Structure 1
Amino acid sequence: MTKETHIVGLDLGTSNITAVIAEMNADGQPEVMGMGVAASRGVRKGVVVNPEAAAEPIRRAVEEAERMSGLTVESVYVSMSGPLLRGINNNGIIAITSPERRITRADIRRVIETACVVTLPGGHEIIDVQPQEYIVDGQDGISDPIDMLGTRLEVSAHIITGPITVRQNVITAVNRAGLLVTGVVLEPIAAAEAVLTSDEREYGSVVINIGSETTSLAVYQRGAVQHTAIFPLGGSHFTNDIAFGVRTPIPEAERIKRDFGCVLSALVVSEGHHVIEVPSMSHRPPRSLSREILCDILQPRAEEILNHVHDELRRSGFDRQLSSGAILTGGGALLRGLSELAEQIFDCPARLGYPLCVSGMTEDINTPLLATAIGLVVVATRGGGTCYYSAQQNSGRLMARTATRMKHWLGNLF
């Protein structure tokens, strides 16, 4: 099977690295053929800080997805995150100079390039560009102006910027795993592509992706992303709060959070009194913990994270423009009561974001945990994702991939 027939989404999370392989089905929708998950290394707060360490779990996640799908991949679409990434809105305008005045793809590229003329701090670059709308001779609200006639073309775009090293370290890690980077997409934008309905994209919504060490958001209106932000708070903060509050090891705190965690006291009270046995540190006897006390530990942290998001929505002017509500994705979104708490804080509807518009392995992929990885595949099928770096940085990596895998295989034998 040729490499053009399948697409790989690679979500570089702080806790886990997830790879999803999909193909286009007869209806033009992505069908998931395989997936792989590996415990993450070399990633902190959504940023690759050690490419060498990150390369190994990337390779393992992709190889697991390959075994499941029976396919071999060479390139990936990859997510990017981190508090140092910023989103800005800017406009571009060009004249249509061809004699027939018909807008071409070359004109689209030119007008987007003019929108990308922005002032950046030293050592920063443009990472991704998301067109919001095109305007032809004053007519706005156009999503695809190809083949339209006009004399002037404008674009409004959401531009993701960040330190050059953030993108470089992602590419280095992926290349050292023997893979090429086809495109990069901001994490909440990828998640939104997987979970939003067309009405939610059109009438105003916010996607909130709660990862291990970061929470990111993307606001959608009029069919396009309007605002993005990333905060250094996430699911691991809940785990740390439990570990510190009840003096239990981190792995046990993670288990307690996953199995018994709830962030809305009203839900806990309605279920009656329940007691959890909590292992203690240093081989001491286990202790008892009520669900009410556990909620008292978790709810303030959930309120802090959601209030950070609400403050950002107020600051950007979108807090009263979310007719379609809030959609929660990522592992942190699985805490019971979080969507109900979000409704109280945002004063709008809220729901968990499950992947839409994909088929295959439906039981395995039907979780907010996989929204970003599946969203990357959806972006790729729609021709999205931008890589602002020279293709030469990927040169020779196909041969390097073979060498990397051979070295690993021989290492396992000997």
Structure 2
Amino acid sequence: MDKKNILAIDVGTGMVKVLAGRQEADGRVELFGSGAAPTEGYVRGAVTDVNALAHSIKQAVECVVMATDSQAAGSVYLGISGSMLVAQNSIGRVAPASSGVVTNADVERACKAAVFSVANNEYEVLHVFPAKEITTQPGEALEVETHIVSAPKTILQSLISALGGSGIQLNGIVASGIMAAEGMNNELPCQPSNFIFIDIGAGVADISMYVGGRLSSSASLPLGGDYITSDLMQGLSVNRGHAEEIKRYYSRLSPNLRNQGVVLDCNDYGTVDKHIPFDFLCDIIESRVEEIVTLVYDYLKPLLEKYLTNQGQAFEAIYLTGGCGAMPSVATCVAKVFQIHTETVKPECLAAEYVHPANTVCYGIIKHGTRISASEPVAGRSAWNLFVHKAKKLLKI
């Protein structure tokens, strides 16, 4: 088993997506397997049935099993988001080991002190990011403002146990939106210092705010493309699958079709009467897009003012990713509401068939897992390999 190989699991409201890959020495991520399955037991960022969710994850992993061999994944990382995540900032204070000199070890001790000051027995810390350091003077303490992300231990332990019963042993659980932002951080256009990264999926909008190039704030809001799909189901009298197809079809059309009297042929799944005026479809979708973007703006408005690094300095860009974030009208609306340069980003260095905003989370998880796994010992055959062996025997691969 090669411990540099990573199995990245992205739990979304609509689908569980799995990518197997590794990061090469030149920074390029090579993928050698993918899988997906409908999500059960997880609604807009909230776990409603741990066993059902574990079963969905297992189904998605089995798809990867069919595309790769038992040595494919050395470490397994699960990405989660939504209401189970708790983000907070805390300041850690320590005395530097050497007076007047701040080392990485000092910063690490300050981060641990920050975590200790907000420790809660009911929550497991997933990430600690140093957001800001106050340079110490001789004889003074070092202060480090940190951004800490946690999740309820009961949910995490139940999920780990349920997956373990299927032979899937996790090496780590991570915050999906932050992994997407961190994975793309060094690949963003213009390399700004102050920016906002928003991953909008079917049921959750994950927000990461960077100040001075460092993560300073994050949040998971229960907002996403599912609301648009539901509106289409109701307004057009179609089922969910048909509504998703119409939404994707609309995303490929030019907004210049408005007020041109265009009628779209949206027949599918055996229907013969779904000829829909473009203007009507536009009204349904764009009204919900505007509502979603406005709610995100209302949440971020106080932070936009709080996290300016210097007076008169503003956020330089907003980067969108995720399935819903890829909709052109979402980027247009964000730019209009926030009055900030907005771009949609995706992992461009992947093989062409994987270059899509919906794969950004898994891309970030693989890069994160590679860094972590490089320092982890490998002992014996992993539970992942045992699972693959059993699954392949069952599937007769």
| TM-score of the two chains, using structure 1 as the length reference | 0.80
Please list the CA deviations of residues 52-94 of structure 1 after superposition, one character each: whole Å capped at 9, or x if unmatched. Answer: 2223332333343354454432531221211242321111121
C-alpha separation in 1, matches of 2:306 and 2:336: 13
Quickly say closer, same or farther: Cα 1:8–1:119, change in 2 above 3 A.
same
C-alpha separation in 1, matches of 2:51 and 2:113: 37
Deviation at 1:376, TM superposition (A): 0.9
Deviation at 1:20, TM superposition (A): 1.9
C-alpha separation in 2, matches of 1:74 and 1:178: 14
**Is contact 1:310-1:319 (8 Å) kept?**
no
Please list the CA deviations of residues 235-255 of structure 1 after superposition, one character each: whole Å capped at 9, or x if unmatched. Answer: 111111000011111111111
- The one-letter amino acid of 1:307's match is T
- State the match for 2:285 in structure 1: 298
- The one-letter amino acid of 2:278's match is R
- The one-letter amino acid of 1:79's match is G
C-alpha separation in 2, matches of 1:258 and 1:222: 36
1:314 and 2:301 correspond: yes
Q: How many residues align?
A: 386
- The one-letter amino acid of 2:320's match is L
**Is contact 1:74-1:180 (8 Å) kept?**
no
Please list the CA deviations of residues 7-26 of structure 1 after superposition, one character each: whole Å capped at 9, or x if unmatched. Answer: 22211112111222222323
User: Cα RMSD (Å) of the superposition?
Assistant: 3.6
**Is contact 2:131-2:146 (8 Å) kept?**
yes
Q: Secondary structure at the match of 1:354?
A: coil
Q: Secondary structure at the match of 2:364?
A: helix
**Is contact 1:13-1:40 (8 Å) kept?**
yes
C-alpha separation in 1, matches of 2:380 and 2:22: 26
Q: Secondary structure at the match of 2:291?
A: helix
1:276 and 2:265 correspond: yes
- The one-letter amino acid of 1:218's match is S
- State the match for 1:82 in structure 2: 82
Deviation at 1:331, TM superposition (A): 0.8
- State the match for 1:389 in structure 2: none
**Is contact 1:136-1:151 (8 Å) kept?**
no
Quickly say closer, same or farther: Cα 1:110–1:262, change in 2 above 3 A.
same
- State the match for 1:60 in structure 2: 59
C-alpha separation in 2, matches of 1:238 and 1:5: 39
- State the match for 1:342 in structure 2: 334
- The one-letter amino acid of 1:223's match is G
Quickly say closer, same or farther: Cα 1:287–1:67, change in 2 above 3 A.
closer
Quickly say closer, same or farther: Cα 1:263–1:209, change in 2 above 3 A.
farther
1:221 and 2:211 correspond: yes
- State the match for 1:167 in structure 2: 156
| TM-score of the two chains, using structure 2 as the length reference | 0.83
**Is contact 2:40-2:53 (8 Å) kept?**
yes
C-alpha separation in 2, matches of 1:60 and 1:228: 30
- The one-letter amino acid of 2:91's match is N
- State the match for 2:345 in structure 1: 353
C-alpha separation in 2, matches of 1:13 and 1:260: 22
**Is contact 2:124-2:153 (8 Å) kept?**
yes
- State the match for 1:187 in structure 2: 176
Please list the CA deviations of residues 141-171 of structure 1 after superposition, one character each: whole Å capped at 9, or x if unmatched. Answer: xxxxxxxxx9854322111133333333442
C-alpha separation in 2, matches of 1:132 and 1:201: 18
C-alpha separation in 2, matches of 1:132 and 1:30: 27
Deviation at 1:101, TM superposition (A): 7.7
- State the match for 2:376 in structure 1: none
Listed as ranges, the gaps of 5+ residues in structure 2 are 309-313, 374-378
Aligned mate of 2:319, from 312, 327, 330: 327
